[in-house]
Amino acid sequence: MKDDKITYLTDVVLITCIVEAGRGDAVIQAAQAMGAAGALVYHARGIGPRERLGLLGIAIEAEKDVVSLLVASDYQEVVFEAVYRAADLDRPGAGLAYITPVERLATYIPREVLAQVSGQESGQ
């Protein structure tokens, strides 16, 4: 029978960055260089003020990359700054990024890692 105890991680934030299609890889590389373990990228359509104006007043839907990163809260500032700079978010229409606190996160964690972390917390 499986061990029914669920280990929750609580010091985690979700960084979401919405950029022009094709810029998601640059955002991921910058985040990983700052310690982010992985990312999820998906394509989306966006409609903002620029897209509504469009050519000749016709609405143009823009393709976007949405990058989601789960990051330890201790690293959120450095990863967020790296994401901001990699995405060129200081440029008009380049996109946006935001941080969302995660209440609890559950996933598989190897027993060896749990034992190591428990030992560090108890001072062993």
Question: 28 pLDDT band (50/70/90 cuts)?
Answer: very high
Question: 5 pLDDT band (50/70/90 cuts)?
Answer: confident
* pLDDT, tens only, 85-116: 999 999 988 899 999 999 999 988 888 888 88
Q: For residues 4 and 57, what is the distance between their CA atoms, to the nearest angstrom? A: 58
Q: For residues 118 and 7, what is the distance between their CA atoms, to the nearest angstrom? A: 12
Q: For residues 24 and 15, what is the distance between their CA atoms, to the nearest angstrom? A: 13
* pLDDT, tens only, 42-54: 999 877 666 666 5
Query: Domain 10-119 class?
Result: alpha beta
Task: Judge contact between 111 and 24, C-beta under 8 A.
Answer: no
Domain range list for the chain: 10-119
Q: pTM, whole model, 2 decimals?
A: 0.80
